[in-house]
Amino acid sequence: MKKTLAVLIGLTVTAPALADEAVNIYSFRQPFLIQPILDDFTEQTGIETNVVFAKKGLIERVKREGKHSRADLVLTSNFSDLVQLDELDLTQTIKSEAVNENVPAKFRDNEGQWIALTKRVRNVYSSKERMGTQAHLSYEELALPKYKGKLCTRSGKHPYNLGLVASMIAHHGEAHTKQWLEGVKANLARKPQGNDRAQVKAVKEGLCDLALGNSYYFGKMIQDPAQQSWADAVNINFPNQDDRGSHINVSGVVMTKYAKNPENALKLIEFMTDNKAQNMYASVNMEYPVKPGVELSSLVASWGNFKEDSLPLDEISKYRPLALKLIDEVKFDL
């Protein structure tokens, strides 16, 4: 009956019914990624975990449940969700010397309301056949007239692009960013659509020559026989290596305001930011660890070292509302 109910409401529940003595997790991150980490945590600590997974709606659920929510933690797949949970007053402060040692300050909230767990780059993919390597390309150059009709991307309002636009505002201001958005829109080969992988597929099919996409999707396509030809058709480029570095987005975690088991929840956060879990994230999902010194997967390492934007995520988050406003003003998705 529980399984049937989970299907009806669009949620996947793993492990037994939620229990007070366990760490209860609402997760946007897929079970295949986090379950091995949670299983290892339980093996090492004896603390059970239960997961409710959904692609959307978990923030609304936590808000609706209020003090009756069973969630101790929420795992997000992007930075925007971390900020939204904080802005809705659904979080509590994470206080841990271990977490502070594991996670650089720019990848955690300065008031301790959220912690990043993995990093991903907002890359530019270029057609090997028509563009070659674009090693020195910048995000700013995507607005140049010479790229008219050559660029593909997903919706400007998607959190991955919203974060990039917010970072542009942080670096260049509102007026410059609006002009940049207008230039990027003018260079689109088609209306924004699909996900990041769909943009690389479009490059392979000759619909465009350049595409915006997150780094870990490149690894996923390489490992997927049905999509390997898409990845083979492009080079992965790390923008702005000649100046500020490439834009970074993150997945992360918050402890909920009404967590019933905060002590064990904190132990799990500490575990997820330490070496073994960070390495598991890196090897399973082709992401970059937030903890310095953790080994990358061999595939990700083969893409080479790169300079990342040093701007703290806290600073970028201030400009998310303005970024959304500008995206609407230029009618980016229309």
Neighbouring C-beta atoms of residue 75, cutoff 10 Å: 22
Q: How confident is the model at residue 8 (pLDDT cuts 50, 70, 90)?
A: very low
pLDDT at 2 over 70: no
pLDDT at 27 over 90: yes
Are 28 and 54 in contact by the 8 Å Cβ rule? The answer is yes
**Structure confidence at residue 215 (pLDDT):** 95
**Length of the chain (residues):** 334
Of 267, 242, 50, 7, nearest in space to 138 by CA = 242
Are 245 and 309 in contact by the 8 Å Cβ rule? The answer is yes
Across residues 239-253, what is the average pLDDT? 97
The residue written with tokens 């209306």 in the block is 191
Please give the Cα distance from 154 to 196 (Å, whole number): 6
pLDDT digits (tens, 9 = 90+) for 264-274: 999 999 999 99
For domain 2-119+249-301, give its CATH number from 3.90.230.10, 3.40.190.10, 3.90.75.20, 3.40.47.10.
3.40.190.10
Across residues 59-85, what is the average pLDDT? 96
**Structure confidence at residue 131 (pLDDT):** 95
Q: How confident is the model at residue 10 (pLDDT cuts 50, 70, 90)?
A: very low
Query: What residue ranges do the domains of the chain occupy?
Result: 2-119+249-301, 120-247+312-329
Please give the Cα distance from 268 to 26 (Å, whole number): 14
pLDDT digits (tens, 9 = 90+) for 64-73: 999 999 999 9
Share of the chain above pLDDT 90, in %: 89
**Structure confidence at residue 132 (pLDDT):** 87
Q: How confident is the model at residue 20 (pLDDT cuts 50, 70, 90)?
A: low
The residue written with tokens 């058709």 in the block is 233
Residues 6+ positions from 99 with CB-CB distance below 8 Å:
108, 115, 269, 270, 273
Q: How confident is the model at residue 4 (pLDDT cuts 50, 70, 90)?
A: very low
Q: How confident is the model at residue 14 (pLDDT cuts 50, 70, 90)?
A: very low
CA 241 to chain centre: 21
The residue written with tokens 């996670």 in the block is 103
Domain 2-119+249-301 matches domain 120-247+312-329 at the CATH topology level: yes
**Structure confidence at residue 13 (pLDDT):** 43
DSSP helix/strand/coil, 105:
helix
Across residues 284-300, what is the average pLDDT? 95
Please give the Cα distance from 11 to 331 (Å, whole number): 33
Q: Where are the alpha helices (DSSP H) in the chain?
A: 2-8, 31-45, 58-65, 79-87, 97-102, 159-172, 174-186, 196-204, 215-223, 228-232, 262-272, 275-285, 298-301, 313-317, 320-329
pLDDT digits (tens, 9 = 90+) for 154-167: 999 999 999 999 99
Q: What is the CATH number of domain 120-247+312-329?
A: 3.40.190.10
Chain-wide mean pLDDT for the chain? 93
pLDDT at 5 over 50: no
pLDDT digits (tens, 9 = 90+) for 202-241: 999 999 999 999 999 999 999 999 999 999 999 999 999 9
For residue 214, what are the β-bridge partners? 122
Please give the Cα distance from 221 to 203 (Å, whole number): 14
**Structure confidence at residue 135 (pLDDT):** 82
**Structure confidence at residue 31 (pLDDT):** 87
| pTM of the full structure | 0.89
**Structure confidence at residue 127 (pLDDT):** 98
Across residues 310-324, what is the average pLDDT? 94
Q: How confident is the model at residue 16 (pLDDT cuts 50, 70, 90)?
A: very low
CA 272 to chain centre: 16
pLDDT at 63 over 50: yes
